Amino acid sequence: MLRIADPYIAWGYPSMKTIRELVYKRGYAKTEGQRHPITNNTIIEEKLGTDFF
């Protein structure tokens, strides 16, 4: 079964670059009742504040 699923599975730990690409590609933030794509950290900082990180 692993040989069948092997081409569709990613093995190992993701890098910071991979995570950043996925968040920017698929991530959305809900601000003011609307859904906005995450394009940079300013959207997150406005919502959570700069002291969160």
pLDDT in tens, 5-37: 888 888 889 999 999 898 889 988 887 888 888
Give the length of the chain. 53
Model pTM above 0.75: no
State how far the Cα of 8 lies from the Cα of 22, in Å rounded to an integer: 17
Listed in order, strand segments (DSSP E) in the chain are 28-31, 34-37
pLDDT at 44: 80
Confidence of residue 50 (pLDDT cuts 50, 70, 90): low
With 90 as the cut, is the pLDDT of residue 3 above it? no
